[in-house]
Amino acid sequence: MATTADFRNGMVIDFNGDLYWIVSFQHVKPGKGPAFVRTKLKNIKTGRVIDNTFSSGTKVNEARVERRSYQYLYNDDMGYYFMHLETFEQIHVPEEMIESHEFLKEGQKVEVVVHADTETILSVDLPQFVVMEVVYTEPGLRGDTATNTLKPAKIETGSTIMVPLFVNTGDKIKIDTASRSYIERAKA
């Protein structure tokens, strides 16, 4: 059991029969009345974010979760397949459990979040940044680097993202997997 004083971002709690991530929380001590904690909770199964207020000192059940390192192998029409880096055990994960699956490439390391008590897979987390090669994009014109204009570029996994005009086919770029956006050209 944990109390509201133990809340931290990323903590998983059992709330109303479902598992929720604590996305954000704020302790509030008003001038009049008891203190309370405002939270944003994300349902692990549905991905829906709800707001909830807990009275200060309320006890909640903390779910035990583990982060395990896996390597991405391949995907087919059934889902995605990963291999544990120490035991070489292979697991199958449906596409909807992987938030940025379009940035997965073979051999990439990911973290699989597992509910420790039931051994069920909760989610697959990609690294915050990935480096991908641009397979195709329209060529940029000389002098187009001064504007903040973007153009579509197809990357090696088949996905398309928006990049600045100076990025060419064959360039390696750094991509933020959370916002699905271009960050910078990768250092060679």
The token pair at 45 is 């199964």
The predicted structure's pLDDT at residue 145: 60
Judge whether 38 and 25 are in contact, CB under 8 Å.
yes
Judge whether 42 and 21 are in contact, CB under 8 Å.
yes
What domains can you pick out in the chain, each with its CATH number?
Answer: 2-62 (2.30.30.30), 65-125 (2.40.50.140), 129-185 (2.40.50.140)
Q: Which residues of the chain register pLDDT less than 70?
A: 141-147, 188
Residue 145 amino acid letter: T
Residues 6+ apart with CB under 8 A from 163: 134, 137, 150, 151, 152, 153, 173, 182
Cα distance between residue 35 and residue 56, in whole Å:
5
The predicted structure's pLDDT at residue 97: 84
Element at 71 (helix H, strand E)? strand 65-76
The predicted structure's pLDDT at residue 142: 65
- Strands in 150-155's sheet, in edge-to-edge order, are 160-164, 150-155, 129-137, 172-176, 181-185
The predicted structure's pLDDT at residue 129: 93
CA-closest candidate to residue 22, choices 35, 38, 45: 38
The predicted structure's pLDDT at residue 98: 87
pLDDT tens column, 4-58: 999 999 899 999 888 998 999 999 999 889 999 999 999 887 788 999 999 999 9
Residue reference for tokens 């904690």: 37
